[in-house]
Amino acid sequence: MVCGAPMAIGDNGRMTSPALSGVPQQEASARCPCLSGSSYGECCAPYHRAVAVAPTAERLMRSRYAAFVTGDAGYLIDTWHSTTRPSSFELDPFHRYFRLDILTTTRGGMLDTKGTVEFRAFLRVDGEVDEQHEVSRFVKESGRWWYLGQD
Ligand SMILES: [Zn+2]
């Protein structure tokens, strides 16, 4: 009689979404991918899980960047303003974002209804480092910040 023999079923056949294969999964205790210095659980995770909304344009910008890192296209759509939101949006699984620099912000605070965030994001594409420089525009409506687009 064999006692305590583990069931092997399922260990090898762990399901992963083909679209997300290779995308780093984020532990709550890990450093937040937006590089705020806080843990993911204390930084962008509550926004990604829709248990909180980003209080400032910059926090929304950071959480959207983190969604690029974690492969969360749904969050990008959900935080896109309805007037500019694409009907579908897919992340390129070969784009590996690894650094975000916030350069300047204008307004976008708790008491504002508009704001911009200028940033530089760095990514690897096929092993080559690329960078994306953008001035993103945000608007606050219905108590939430939304991504409008870039200048
Ligand atoms: Zn974060």
Q: Which tokens in the block code for residue 68? A: 């690029």
pLDDT confidence of residue 26: 84
Q: For residue 46, report the distance from its CA to the centre of ligand 1, in Å.
A: 10
Looking at domain 32-150, its CATH architecture is Roll (3.10)
For the chain, the domains span 32-150
Q: For residue 151, report the distance from its CA to the centre of ligand 1, in Å.
A: 23
pLDDT, one tens digit per residue, over 13-67 is: 334 333 444 445 689 999 999 999 999 999 999 999 999 999 999 999 999 999 9
pLDDT, one tens digit per residue, over 132-151 is: 999 999 999 999 999 999 98
Q: For residue 41, report the distance from its CA to the centre of ligand 1, in Å.
A: 8
List CB-based neighbours of ion ligand 1 within 5 Å. Answer: 32, 34, 36, 43-44, 62, 66
- pTM score over 0.85: no
Q: For residue 67, report the distance from its CA to the centre of ligand 1, in Å.
A: 9
